[in-house]
Amino acid sequence: MKPLRVRPEAEIDAFEAALWYESERDGLGSKFLGAVREVFGHIGQLPLRFPIVSEGIRRAMLRRFPFGVFFVVDEECTTVIAIMHLHRAPASWERRR
């Protein structure tokens, strides 16, 4: 199992989404972050099971929330590059490679 690294931009993505969900309903931001942590666990265990969506970038979907965790796998580690709403334009996360 390779180490899982999360880029600061991806951490900000998650934090901003959690704040928005929390503003919609108390406790929903925490549930969002819990879903992110759950997906991080799955990615950390078997990163290659997730589909490639663009030139080496893989995507894992969150349960209950319309977000994807976009990441790359190399020889040393797995790196989360973005946590984005699935209706955003791909260019917003693709340029983070």
pTM: 0.91
| Higher-scoring residue by pLDDT: 22, 90 | 22
Question: Would you place residue 65 in the very low, low, confident or very high pLDDT band (cuts 50, 70, 90)?
Answer: very high
Average pLDDT over the chain, rounded to an integer: 92
Whole-Å CA distances, 29 to 5, 7, 97:
22, 20, 27
Instruction: Give the pLDDT mean for 47-67.
Output: 94
pLDDT tens digits, residue range 9-50?
999 999 999 999 999 999 999 999 999 999 999 999 999 999
Alpha-carbon distance values, 85 to 10, 24, 25, 62, 76 (Å): 12, 16, 18, 10, 28
Q: What structural domains does the chain harbor?
A: 4-94 (3.30.2310.20)
